A and B are shown apart, each in its own frame.
Chain A
Amino acid sequence: MGDSTSVNQSLSHLAQLESEAIAIFREVVAQMANPVLLYSIGKDSSVLLHLARKAFAPEPLPFPLLHIDTTWKFREMIAFRDATAEKFGLDLHVYTQPQGQADGLTPFSHGSARYTDVMKTQALREALARGAYDAAFGGARRDEERSRAKERVFSHRNSEQRWDPKNQRPELWGIFNGACGPGESFRVFPLSNWTEQDIWQYIAAENIAIPSLYFAKERPCVQRDGKWFMVDDDRFPLLENEQPVLKRVRFRTLGCYPLTAAIESDATTVAEIIEEMAHIRVSEREGRLIDSDSPHAMEQKKREGYF
């Protein structure tokens, strides 16, 4: 972004967002003892990782990556994750909630709420505690959901990793108060001020690699409640008389494949996605099932320690 600007010419909004994110990464590394980057493989994580590497170059990334693997991610996501770690020489840690895995917990058999609680929320808390991380970078954005609009960039968590909306520190001038008691930690969101549109424009401007699931392709799908789901492997329990059909689809967000709806699309490049975005009329969380469980689903999950 930087080389195209000349002195006393306004910086673009992307250059300013980039600068803000880089400053946040550096500040955490300067102040905290043991940070980690939560890597969830999607477009936001790709941007997050790109910014982190840009913040410290020519140094290697001064913290590890952590991926919470529910075992129900799209197969291509896992392949992309491992290839990315390989390509950039990243220190990648993967954690799966052992009890849930032993009990064979699936989104189909136990419902999305229970499954998400154990395999995502609980798993994350366990992994962060085991690593004794005092700061965890996440790719959440304030524009994603109403209750996120009030989330701090540096979100303080008590020793139970809980978020107390009444006990958050005011954030003035971008000064980060990283004072941290024993067992306490921060969740840090460098992309707080980015919107979905900013993310896509930045991916285009910086030529950032993302999983091909974001691009339209014919994929085997079934329709449930009016939404298309991809049958990514043979664990997908088909109903009687249900046959996957090939649909030209892509994904707007990536998560566990049984919980992530596809959208019909012809966009096969980032430029086409941006063009499509300009006309799209539903928010990206519409494709995620966990939000619609209860009116304040997101907020409750956050208090419990979900990202």
Chain B
Amino acid sequence: MNTEKALLRFLTCGSVDDGKSTLIGRLLYDTASIYDDQLTRLTQDSKRIGTQRDGLDFALLVDGLEAEREQGITIDVAYRYFSTDTRKFIIADAPGHEQYTRNMATAASVCDVAVILIDARFGVQTQTRRHSFICALMGIQHVIVAVNKMDAVQFDQAVYKQIQQDYLALIGQLDIPDVRFVPMCALTGDNVVHPSEQMPWFRGQPLLHYLHGIDVQQARAGEHFRFPVQRVSRPSASFRGYQGRITSGSIQVGDSIRLMSTGAVSRITDIRLGEQSLSQAQAPQSVTLCIADALDVSRGDLLVDKQHLSQLSDRLRARVLWFAARPLEPGAQFTLQFLTKQTRARVERLHHQIDVNSFAEVPAVMLSCNDIGVVDLRCAESVAFDDYVSHRETGAFLLVDNTTGQTVAAGMVQRALPRAGSASTPAAAGQSDVEGNPNANIRWHVPSVTSHERAAVRGHRPCVVWFTGLSGSGKSTLAHALDRRLFDMGCQSFVLDGDNLRHGLNKDLGFTPESRSENVRRTAEVAKLLTDAGIIVNAAIISPFTEDRATVRAHLSEAVDFLEVFVDTPLEECERRDPKNLYKRARAGEIANFTGISSPYETPVAPDVHLYPAKDSIEDCVEQVFQALVNRGILTQT
């Protein structure tokens, strides 16, 4: 007998009466996983309460709790086991009943493969969409669509083809890379374990064949190393080890690791499993790690690959699946529980709800039981985590009701948000609005020299002159010309040039809309610092999106003026000048997301100053901006 089998966990989902229990019973029966006494009882039960007049009612093998048997439906997740010569299988039997999204998500959370049943007579149903969506939401990468009850449609290939087509249209909207189809009749066992003689037109393989072929473990061991510390073991002065389970990747003695909470780096000196020392270990092994340095590691910390870090923040955005009878509303507080880390958290914002049938984002003021939504959460302390898509175990969490102790939501991190107190959440600065926050270790220090005092010494107030326009429109030239004029009259000013910043501060950013927004955000942060220092900032940056420019304006202190200067050079003129040959390359398709060519420029509707460098001279343009500064009272001593 083979004792080195692989292990595969899969869930089964289908609507009521799709034949899910029958399929599971058939899998157990055809793999000889049912004992004689169980078979005897099945035979008796089939005669007494079975739905199959003559044969065995395989569904009776897997129905469990008394109440369910009487109602004839499965109301919770049930786990079944069978093995073949090469694999052990764990089936998470997820219910088909409409209101039990929670149970299906629970089953999917521990599985790598989903078998989705479709009744050949009815085709793709609303619930098929829902089940597929939840599978995608929970990160299932492999779906096998079992088109069941083919006997009821005379094993007609056309019916199967139509369902296949309908399903492919549906799944195209979801992120599930691997989808296979099997036409079957679970009741008679056609294409379950053994090939069907009724469907010679089917060139694929029976279900079990596919279940044998899918390899999920290799993929996980190849991911970045993650080790959530469960417990610190200190039995004696001479031993200190960190107990936990490797959730992804692998580790060897001698490897460098990083402690996410402090950023400290150390080296693995020992990997222990029981009394043994291992030279290496991989996900999902539970081990005890010893490291070279005496770092301050405690339960809830995350040890990660030195190069490929997790995220660290006290704010995050996540999809949540709400389980409780009372609704989820913004402001509610919970215990947030990652695999080994617990902290208090508050719902800062509910962005929207996701309709599980249409997959559309719909506005919502609360989430009801079984709803799925996107929320921003603010934690009482900084926590290390990953996004769920890239690292399942370290990107998943529960929300626990502080009063009842019940698990009220399952969460999947989408991304970290800037920390509370950082510039992107000015309202949060210096506040501690999470109850009992013991760890608001980042405080906002109010400067002792006020901006009024600085202005009095310098003879001008700080402000931001924001030159926006197409590439090659003349923004930098104008910004530098204004800078010279201001400097010559004794003002303290400085140019923030978009291109220059991309050589340093922003060199990790590309030109996608997200990167452009981040580019603007960072530039705004620097501009804010400079204005806090009392300086007039001349920023030259394409900043094509209205929303980003508005964000910059809103972001500055109230006392600081913001002048939006639209450098309105027509695209044809910019393209004619093309000082850096960028337009030519963009036209040739060599540069993606090029503003004006392949990426939009949203024209300012009401700029503070509107310049036309194509017809006015540089001096005239600078004069216009200068006058605007005078009119605003920026230059107090002129």
Q: Which residues of A contact B (CB under 8 A)?
A: 1-3, 5-8, 10-20, 22-23, 26-27, 29-30, 53-60, 142-143, 146-147, 149-150, 165, 168-175, 177, 179-181, 184, 192-193, 195, 197-198, 201, 204-205, 274-275, 278, 280-283, 286, 296, 299
Tell whether B188 is near chain A: CB-to-CB under 8 Å. Answer: no
Instruction: Flag if B1 contacts A175 (CB, 8 Å).
Output: no
Q: Per-position contact with A for B248-272: 1 when CB-CB < 8 Å, else 0?
A: 0010100000000000000000001
Pairs across A and B, CB under 8 Å, 6 listed: A22-B245, A150-B64, A172-B109, A172-B110, A173-B392, A280-B35
Q: A55 to B243, alpha carbons, bound, how many Å? A: 8
Instruction: Flag if A60 contacts B407 (CB, 8 Å).
Output: no
Q: A13 to B406, alpha carbons, bound, how many Å? A: 32
Residues of A within 8 A of B243 (CB): 26, 55-56
Instruction: Flag if B230 contacts A30 (CB, 8 Å).
Output: yes
Instruction: Flag if A181 contacts B282 (CB, 8 Å).
Output: no
Instruction: Flag if A170 contacts B286 (CB, 8 Å).
Output: no
Partner of B217, one of A11, A14, A146, A198: A11
Partner of A26, one of B76, B88, B252, B286: B286
Instruction: Flag if A7 contacts B280 (CB, 8 Å).
Output: yes
Closest CB of chain B to A51's CB: distance in Å?
Answer: 9
Residues of A within 8 A of B90 (CB): 193
Instruction: Flag if B405 contacts A6 (CB, 8 Å).
Output: no
Tell whether B121 is near chain A: CB-to-CB under 8 Å. Answer: no
Instruction: Flag if A282 contacts B398 (CB, 8 Å).
Output: no
Instruction: Flag if B337 contacts A177 (CB, 8 Å).
Output: yes
Contact count A vs B, C-beta below 8 Å: 197
Partner of A197, one of B37, B83, B339: B83
Residues of A within 8 A of B3 (CB): 12, 14, 201, 204-205
Asked whether A57 and B272 contact (CB < 8 A) given A30-B230, A170-B106, the answer is yes
Instruction: Flag if B392 contacts A19 (CB, 8 Å).
Output: no
Closest CB of chain B to A211's CB: distance in Å?
Answer: 22
Instruction: Flag if A172 contacts B105 (CB, 8 Å).
Output: yes
Partner of B66, one of A8, A17, A175, A299: A299
Instruction: Flag if B393 contacts A173 (CB, 8 Å).
Output: yes
Q: A173 to B65, alpha carbons, bound, how many Å? A: 24
Q: A53 to B273, alpha carbons, bound, how many Å? A: 10
Complex interface residues of chain B between 1 and 52 (CB less than 8 A to chain A): 1, 3-7, 35-38
Residues of B within 8 A of A150 (CB): 64-65, 76-79
Q: A275 to B2, alpha carbons, bound, how many Å? A: 11
Instruction: Flag if B286 contacts A147 (CB, 8 Å).
Output: no
Residues of B within 8 A of A16 (CB): 7, 284
Closest CB of chain B to A143's CB: distance in Å?
Answer: 5
Instruction: Flag if A59 contacts B235 (CB, 8 Å).
Output: yes
Q: A112 to B410, alpha carbons, bound, how many Å? A: 44
Which of A6, A147, A170, A280 has the most chain B CB atoms closer than 10 A to its own CB? A170
Residues of B within 8 A of A14 (CB): 3-4
Instruction: Flag if B250 contacts A10 (CB, 8 Å).
Output: no
Partner of A143, one of B81, B244, B340, B405: B81
Q: A5 to B285, alpha carbons, bound, how many Å? A: 10
Asked whether A57 and B275 contact (CB < 8 A) given A150-B76, A193-B79, A278-B1, the answer is yes
Residues of A within 8 A of B285 (CB): 2, 5, 11, 15, 19
Q: A60 to B239, alpha carbons, bound, how many Å? A: 13
Partner of A195, one of B81, B110, B288, B406: B81
15 new A-B contacts, CB < 8 A, other than A11-B284, A280-B35, A282-B37, are: A2-B276, A30-B340, A55-B286, A58-B275, A59-B235, A142-B79, A147-B65, A165-B76, A170-B106, A173-B110, A180-B405, A197-B83, A275-B1, A283-B37, A286-B37
Which of A6, A22, A143, A195 has the most chain B CB atoms closer than 10 A to its own CB? A22
Residues of B within 8 A of A173 (CB): 109-110, 339, 392-393, 396
Instruction: Flag if B218 contacts A174 (CB, 8 Å).
Output: no
Tell whether B524 is near chain A: CB-to-CB under 8 Å. Answer: no
Residues of B within 8 A of A7 (CB): 221, 250, 252, 280-282
Tell whether B504 is near chain A: CB-to-CB under 8 Å. Answer: no
Q: A274 to B83, alpha carbons, bound, how many Å? A: 15
Residues of A within 8 A of B393 (CB): 173-174
Asked whether A283 and B38 contact (CB < 8 A) given A19-B285, A22-B286, the answer is yes
Asked whether A281 and B35 contact (CB < 8 A) given A149-B64, A169-B407, A181-B405, the answer is yes
Instruction: Flag if B233 contacts A172 (CB, 8 Å).
Output: no
Q: A286 to B38, alpha carbons, bound, how many Å? A: 9
Q: A18 to B278, alpha carbons, bound, how many Å? A: 16
Closest CB of chain A to B380's CB: distance in Å?
Answer: 17
Instruction: Flag if B250 contacts A198 (CB, 8 Å).
Output: no
Residues of A within 8 A of B272 (CB): 57-58
Closest CB of chain B to A273's CB: distance in Å?
Answer: 11
Residues of B within 8 A of A180 (CB): 405
Partner of A10, one of B77, B78, B217: B217
Instruction: Flag if A149 contacts B80 (CB, 8 Å).
Output: yes
Instruction: Flag if B65 contacts A299 (CB, 8 Å).
Output: yes
Chain B residue nearest to A148 (CB atoms) is B64
Complex interface residues of chain B between 387 and 417 (CB less than 8 A to chain A): 392-393, 396-398, 400, 405-407, 410
Residues of B within 8 A of A18 (CB): 286
Q: Per-position contact with A for B593-625: 1 when CB-CB < 8 Å, else 0?
A: 000000000000000000000000000000000
Closest CB of chain B to A267's CB: distance in Å?
Answer: 14
Residues of A within 8 A of B282 (CB): 5, 7-8, 11
Tell whether B231 is near chain A: CB-to-CB under 8 Å. Answer: yes
Q: A173 to B280, alpha carbons, bound, how many Å? A: 24
Partner of A175, one of B215, B252, B280, B339: B339
Q: Please list the 3 inter-chain residue pairs (A to B) with the smallest Cβ-Cβ separation, ordered nearest first.
A: A179-B405, A54-B274, A22-B286
Closest CB of chain A to B628's CB: distance in Å?
Answer: 57
Closest CB of chain A to B328's CB: distance in Å?
Answer: 16
Closest CB of chain A to B590's CB: distance in Å?
Answer: 38
Instruction: Flag if B62 contacts A170 (CB, 8 Å).
Output: no
Closest CB of chain A to B406's CB: distance in Å?
Answer: 6
Instruction: Flag if B78 contacts A19 (CB, 8 Å).
Output: no
Tell whether B287 is near chain A: CB-to-CB under 8 Å. Answer: yes
Instruction: Flag if B398 contacts A175 (CB, 8 Å).
Output: yes
Q: A108 to B243, alpha carbons, bound, how many Å? A: 48
Q: A29 to B88, alpha carbons, bound, how many Å? A: 29
Tell whether B224 is near chain A: CB-to-CB under 8 Å. Answer: no
Which of A1, A169, A175, A195 has the most chain B CB atoms closer than 10 A to its own CB? A175
Q: A12 to B405, alpha carbons, bound, how many Å? A: 36
Closest CB of chain A to B473's CB: distance in Å?
Answer: 52
Chain A residue nearest to B215 (CB atoms) is A10
Closest CB of chain A to B548's CB: distance in Å?
Answer: 37
Q: A97 to B103, alpha carbons, bound, how many Å? A: 39
Partner of B233, one of A12, A59, A174, A175: A59
Tell whether B335 is near chain A: CB-to-CB under 8 Å. Answer: yes
Residues of B within 8 A of A17 (CB): 7
Residues of B within 8 A of A56 (CB): 233, 243
Closest CB of chain B to A154's CB: distance in Å?
Answer: 11
Instruction: Flag if A175 contacts B397 (CB, 8 Å).
Output: yes
Instruction: Flag if A19 contacts B106 (CB, 8 Å).
Output: no
Q: A29 to B79, alpha carbons, bound, how many Å? A: 25
Partner of B276, one of A3, A6, A19, A283: A3
Tell whether B461 is near chain A: CB-to-CB under 8 Å. Answer: no
